[in-house]
Amino acid sequence: MSAGKIPPDQEAKSRLPQPSSIFGGLAQRLQDGVRARIVALGQNHSQRLAAIVETSDDAIISTDLDGVIATWNGAAERLYGYTAKEVIGQPITILIPADRQDEEQIILGRIRVGERIEHFETERQRKDGGLVEVSLTVSPIADAAGTIVGASKIARDITRRKRAEAAQAALHQFTDRLFQASSAEDVHEAALEAIVRALGCNRASILMFDRTGLMKFVAWRGLSEGYRQAVEGHSPWTRESKNLQPISIDDIDQAELDTQLKAFVKSEGIAALAFIPLITKGELVGKFMAYYPTPHVFTESDLKVAVTIARQLGLSVERMRAEEAKELVLAESKHRIKNTLATVQAIAGQTLRNSAADDLQAFLARLHALGEAHDLLTAEDWHQTSLRVLVDRALKPFEPSRKDRIMVDGPSVALPASSSLSLTMCLHELATNAAKYGALSNSSGSLHISWELVGNGAKRAVSLSWLETGGPKVSAPKHKGFGSRLIESSGFDDVRLDYPPDGVRCCLEVPL
């Protein structure tokens, strides 16, 4: 074999593909295929991500670090009212209410240092000027080199949740205020506050039928006098209306109203409103109204809350009217009783004019004591009265120059009306006797009145003790006078009237 010449068998082998070139080509093809697959997967991932963003129920927006809007999905359009074309390239601050403009700079400052902000609850402003409550999650956006270049913002509408929370809190507070209300004005003010807070409106009013059958404003918030005069008397119902349901107008511009009435409503800055009937004992007595400055869709939840307020308000109006009627009856009763006692006093004066002066004065004093007892009962709705007050008033005519010698001691107790009149007369007789003959007839005697609660349940009572000391020597009377007979026939349990030498003692039990 000459130098440099390749043997035939080796030359044949050299024409065959070498292992390294076979595997190298295969590896290249595999690598190219993988790269193509990765690119395809990347494209699919981007497409899927874009589809997720576009179909999300949450508003998803991206901005640069200057707060300029770069992307805007369909949910953002539905939430804020702007199309993507209207807002891309605009500052994000067009969505932020005037009183919250500083929030954006704080958010961007945190994003620039790579911080993520989660569930930040705030308000944003729609294209129509209305406010929407949102929960924001803001995340940094970084480029391929890891440099933060912008922010993505996901906003979830929480208006319904916040409104439901506010409505629940307002209803609880409304109930508490109604329990504490002592007048119709208190009820009306509590209702107006509940309407505004629970229904998210900015103004409200309450109207009631007057005696002529017209709806008249009785309470309002935020309505001008001119508006009230213009719309007073207008109502979708009459007193005879049945099966009443709330009526809402979502947009005044679209409502079928009298042209002049619609003009008055719009001139007041009202864009939406609701009429809620007030019903007591099955009859329409009035309505309350909620007003909104922008169009407002009344949800089923809104109307349920409104009906709840109307029911509580209607019950409170009924209660106040009943109490006012009761007050009138009590006042009339008090007036008639006073007139009757005055008549009896005049008759007694004429009838007993030839009797002893002391007898006439004693009779008139008893009438006066009876009148005082009636005054106490009418002051307490003719139901009960304070034992402490009753004792003080029964002794008041005998206090001059003796007040420091009269001691009263006992727990707070309310006596029923059935016991108050009798006890007042008993105390009057005892005090009169003490002032004439007993401990209050000299300068050294003293009187101690005390009581305690005894018994349980149906047998619960007040055990009252009358004790005189330091007066003239006492002896039992030979003949029972009017006072003794009155006390013994008072109907109280365990009545004891004793005359020990050191002073009169009386014990009796007053049922509760």
3-class state of residue 262 by DSSP: helix
Alpha carbon separation from 389 to 410, 432, 468, 511 (Å, rounded)? 12, 18, 20, 17
Alpha helices in 268-386 (DSSP H): 300-351, 357-379
CA atoms within 13 A on the CB side of 386: 8
pLDDT reading at 36 higher than 90? no
Contact yes or no for 454/461 (Cβ under 8 A): yes
Give the β-pairing of 446-454 and 406-409: parallel
Two structure tokens written together for 375: 């005054």
Beta bridge partners of 506: 466, 497
pTM tops 0.85, yes or no: no
Identify whether residues 400 and 494 lie together within a single domain: yes
Q: What is the pLDDT of residue 431?
A: 87
Identify whether residues 248 and 205 lie together within a single domain: yes
pLDDT reading at 30 higher than 60? no
Two structure tokens written together for 17: 């593909």
CA 399 to chain centre: 47
Which long-range CB contacts under 8 A does 82-90 form with residues at least 24 apart? 82/127, 86/127
* Average of per-residue pLDDT values in the chain: 81
216 belongs to a structural domain: yes
Nearest one of 90, 78, 60 to 126, comparing CA atoms: 78
87 belongs to a structural domain: yes
Domain-terminating residue out of 112, 131, 157: 157
Report how far residue 291's alpha carbon sits from residue 274's, in angstroms, rounded to the nearest whole number.
Answer: 7
CA 135 to chain centre: 27
Contact yes or no for 438/498 (Cβ under 8 A): no
Q: Which residue has the higher pLDDT, 78 or 419?
A: 78
Torsion of CA 428, 430, 431, 435, to 10 degrees: 140
**How many structural domains comprise the chain?**
4
**236 CB neighbour count, 10 Å cutoff:** 11
Contact yes or no for 483/476 (Cβ under 8 A): no
DSSP codes, 433-448: HHHHTSTTSSSS-EEE
Q: What is the pLDDT of residue 490?
A: 75
Q: What is the pLDDT of residue 465?
A: 93
pLDDT digits (tens, 9 = 90+) for 462-474: 999 999 999 999 8
Contact yes or no for 303/282 (Cβ under 8 A): no
Report how far residue 240's alpha carbon sits from residue 344's, in angstroms, rounded to the nearest whole number.
Answer: 49
**CA end-to-end span of the chain:** 143
377 belongs to a structural domain: yes
CA atoms within 13 A on the CB side of 387: 25
pLDDT digits (tens, 9 = 90+) for 82-141: 999 999 999 999 999 999 999 999 999 999 999 999 999 999 999 988 889 999 999 999
pLDDT digits (tens, 9 = 90+) for 131-184: 899 999 999 998 888 899 999 999 999 988 888 888 888 888 898 888 888 888
Give the structural domain span for 436.
352-511
Domain-terminating residue out of 318, 341, 361: 318
Domain at 140, CATH number: 3.30.450.20
CA 8 to chain centre: 109
Identify whether residues 472 and 385 lie together within a single domain: yes
14 belongs to a structural domain: no
The 3-class SS string of 31-54 reads HHHHHHHHHHHHHHHHHHHHHHHH
Identify whether residues 291 and 210 lie together within a single domain: yes
Nearest one of 467, 465, 476, 466 to 501, comparing CA atoms: 476
Strands of 213-271 (E only): list them.
215-221, 247-249
20 belongs to a structural domain: no
Report how far residue 244's alpha carbon sits from residue 311's, in angstroms, rounded to the nearest whole number.
Answer: 13
pLDDT digits (tens, 9 = 90+) for 317-358: 877 666 665 566 556 556 555 655 555 555 455 555 555 656
Domain at 493, CATH number: 3.30.565.10
Identify whether residues 170 and 133 lie together within a single domain: no
103 belongs to a structural domain: yes
- 192-196, 304-308, 439-443, 481-485: lowest mean pLDDT where? 481-485
> What single DSSP character describes residue 391?
H
Alpha carbon separation from 474 to 5, 464, 495 (Å, rounded)? 166, 21, 19
Angle at 437 between CA 434 and CA 441, to 5 degrees: 70
Q: What is the pLDDT of residue 17?
A: 46
High-pLDDT (> 70) share of the chain, %: 76
Report how far residue 181's alpha carbon sits from residue 161's, in angstroms, rounded to the nearest whole number.
Answer: 30
Report how far residue 492's alpha carbon sits from residue 419's, in angstroms, rounded to the nearest whole number.
Answer: 8
Identify whether residues 188 and 272 lie together within a single domain: yes
Identify whether residues 251 and 392 lie together within a single domain: no
Domain-terminating residue out of 270, 299, 318: 318
18 belongs to a structural domain: no
Beta bridge partners of 155: 59, 136
| Residue positions counted in the chain | 512
Domain at 290, CATH number: 3.30.450.40
Identify whether residues 134 and 283 lie together within a single domain: no
Identify whether residues 242 and 356 lie together within a single domain: no
Alpha carbon separation from 494 to 379, 461, 490, 511 (Å, rounded)? 30, 11, 11, 11
Identify whether residues 137 and 235 lie together within a single domain: no
Identify whether residues 199 and 230 lie together within a single domain: yes
Identify whether residues 135 and 181 lie together within a single domain: no
Helix axes 300-351, 159-180, angle to 10 degrees: 10
Q: Is the dihedral of CA 452, 454, 458, 459 positive or negative?
A: negative
182 belongs to a structural domain: yes
